[in-house]
Amino acid sequence: MKLSTKLSTIGLVVTAGPALTVLTLLLWKTPQITEDIDDQIHTLVESSLVDQTKSILENVELTDKLLLGTTKSHLSTAEVIAEQIGTIEQQADDLVSWDAINQITKESTPLQLPKLTVGGLWLGQQSEFDPNNRVTLIDDFGDRTGITCTLFQKMNEAGDMLRVATNVRKLDGKRAIGTYIPSSSPVVQTVLSGETFFGRAYVVNQHYITAYKPIEDSRGEVIGILYVGLPESVATKQVTANLTQKTTGETGRVFVLNKNKQNAGKLIVAPDRGEVGETAEFFLNEDGTDVLEEVLSTAGSLAGGEVRSLKYHVRKPGGSELEEMTAAVAYYPSWDWVILSTISSEELNASSELVSASLAHVTNLQIGATVIGTVIALILFMSIAKSLSRQIRKIAKEISDGGEDTQRSSLEIEMVSSELAHGSRSQTDSLHNTSQSLDNINNITHQNVEAAAKANQLTSETRKCADTSSQEMTAMIEAMDAIAKSSEDISTIIKTIDEIAFQTNILALNAAVEAARAGDAGAGFAIVAEEVRDLALRSTEAAHNTSGKIEEALAKSRSGSTICDQVASSLALINEKILGIDEVVGTIVTSSEEQSRGVEQISQAITQIDNITQTHATSSTHMVNSSEKLTEQARNLNITLEQLLKLVDG
């Protein structure tokens, strides 16, 4: 079989084998990859809904904390206004009749209670909002803050609390006086224990964010409640507005509804289904039955901050067909909020189908590219194989012709190399003897250079020490001069201090005289003046002592400066002598180094000649050996070329 045929067969196996493997893996793995991607998309979206719901829960909790802080601030404002007006108390000997109505059951109870007064003024029984007949404390607080305020009075031993003055409106627009909170309410239970209640509470006809602070009499018994509050719908308006606008994809929305008691299932945020305040009726099962209670039950079972995924169905707009919704649900008990982040499962499936279609398209492109690439690779292999065979045949012919010439030339080189090797060995012996003589001369010269260099080094070091001593002595002289000048400056300053102390002493005497004239009124000033005078005297004494010591130091500095000048002159003379010695030693070193360099150059030249001669001898020997090997390799090459031509031609 020819070489080109063998190469083409190998190319077919090399390209088609991997291509078939890739195609098989693509066809086998594509459905599994599609299923995995679908699962990942659903998991990712559900995780995104959970994260979004957690974020909403955190924002609601933060808003609740801010509202609590605002409510506490409003309660403090109400207490300040009440303190400004006067004490809140009951007039036990002055009773007034009430028809108390339970705000939960609407049952009526007639009774008489002592008048409740603020600063001695009775609050009255004002049910109308009349600007000409204002309710003290209540309307003052409402005008200042814009939120509701109520005074409750304890009705009985059970602890029912009656609204006797308020700006909370009933549905008919009147003040909600005469209504009461039953003692079973958690609000009343907290207040009766002597603590202030903060949080969400049902007030008359809706929920408020509230604060209820107990009012106690002089014996410490609870006789009523001071209340401030803001309607929940107003307090949470910004939060609900933001949630109404929040979307996930095209169909994803956020819903909020109540869970407990009479408001269970009522919508607080309803972006595209139902109305706010209505009961949510769009949570359905696969068969169309209502599953609202299951959704509320699931939310109620969640721990604080926990979020859970669930699925339910809704009716498509304009028809009876159901579609599945994926949701993440959380519960915030402080506001009784069930929060749901939802998205249509149909939208999720559409995304999965789009990814699957894209994956199928990519798979088809990969199959087509693999087939085309295999065909192109096979054609290239065949073309390269034919071209390679021609080139190998041509190169083999040229190498064969050159091998014969190489064999003849190697025989001639072998003869010349033998003669050259013999002459090189004789020349090497003569150069070796000359080199040994020069080595002896060079050793002696080196010893002279080293001795001269050491002498030069010692004189240089001596000169450097002398220079250093001279410079240090100069620095010392300058320092002594500076010390002398500083001492003179300090002496001047001491004189100034002495003068100031003298003036201070005179002023202190004058002050003492004036204090004596002032009599008892100036007694304290006289003591201060005496202390100032003592301080001035001590300053004068210290200045005199310091001045004497400075004069003594100044005299010693001048003496030391004179001695330093004499030492500097001696060092300069020593330095001059050392310079002369250094020049002589330097001349000796220079001459010795030049002599050493001359001997070294001669020795190097002889060594180089010796090395070259030895190299020639070695090279000649190698050339003889190489010529013999080259002749043998030329014979082997001719044999190999014959085998290569047989392989190419077949």
Instruction: Please write the tens of the pLDDT for every residue from 270-288.
Output: 777 767 777 777 777 777 7
- Token pair recorded at residue 48: 């995104």
pLDDT tens figures, 71-94: 999 999 999 999 999 999 999 899
* CA angle, residues 210, 216, 220, in degrees to nearest 5: 135
For residue 142, what pLDDT is reported? 93
The interaxial angle of helices 3-85 and 237-245, nearest 10 deg, is 160
- The C-alpha atoms of residue 194 and residue 217 are separated, in whole angstroms, by 12
Q: pTM score, two decimals?
A: 0.50
CATH number where 471 lies: 1.10.287.950
The pLDDT value recorded for residue 135 is 92
Instruction: Name residues whose C-beta falls within 8 Å of residue 315's C-beta, 6 or more positions apart in sequence.
Output: 282, 284, 321, 322, 323
The bridge status of strand 222-231 relative to strand 148-154 is antiparallel
Ramachandran angles phi, psi of 155, nearest 5°: -85, -35
Asked if the structure places residue 25 within a domain, the reply is no
Both 472 and 582 in one domain: the answer is yes
- Domain finish residue from 188, 206, 224: 206
Look up residue 173 and give its DSSP letter: S
The Cα–Cα gap between 21 and 27 comes to 10
Q: Is 405 exposed, middle or buried (0-12, 13-18, 19+ CB in 10 A)?
A: exposed
**Residue 413 reports pLDDT greater than 70:** no
Q: Is 382 contained in some domain?
A: no
Domain membership of residue 307 as a residue range? 237-349
**Stretch 101-128: mean pLDDT:** 92
Asked if residue 592 and residue 479 are part of one domain, the reply reads yes
CB-hemisphere CA count at 13 Å for 23? 16
Which neighbouring-strand residues pair with 315?
A: 322
Same domain for 593 and 487, yes or no, is yes
Residue 241 sits in the same domain as residue 202? no
Query: Helices 3-85 and 138-145: crossing angle, nearest 10°?
Result: 140
Higher-pLDDT residue of 80, 441: 80
- For residues 195 and 241, state if they share a domain: no
Q: What is the mean pLDDT of residues 32-38?
A: 69
Same domain, 185 and 249: no
Q: What is the pLDDT of residues 571-585, one digit of tens each?
A: 677 777 767 767 766
Pair 268, 181 in one domain: no
Question: pLDDT tens digits, residue range 491-521?
Answer: 788 778 878 878 888 887 888 788 788 877 7
Query: Is residue 540 situated within a structural domain?
Result: yes
CATH number at residue 289: 3.30.450.20
447 and 533 assigned to the same domain: yes
Does residue 255 sit in the same domain as residue 296? yes
The highest-confidence range among 159-168, 249-258, 436-445, 582-591, by mean pLDDT, is: 159-168
Asked if residue 129 is part of any domain, the answer here is: yes
Residue 597 has pLDDT above 70, yes or no: yes
Q: Is residue 547 part of a domain?
A: yes
Q: Is residue 40 part of a domain?
A: no
| Shared-domain flag, residues 194 and 281 | no
Tell me whether residue 327 is in a domain.
yes
Q: Is residue 405 included in any domain, yes or no?
A: no
Report CA 195 to chain centroid distance, whole Å: 44
Q: Which residues pair with 343 in a beta bridge?
A: 326
Query: How many domains are there within the chain?
Result: 3
**Same-domain check for residues 202 and 242:** no
Give the end of a domain, one of 206, 229, 251. 206
Share of the chain above pLDDT 70, in %: 74
Specify the pairing of strand 197-203 against strand 206-216. Answer: antiparallel
User: Looking at the structure, do residues 290 and 152 belong to the same domain, yes or no?
Assistant: no
Q: Examine the fold and report which residue of 349, 366, 387 is the final residue of a domain before the chain moves on.
A: 349
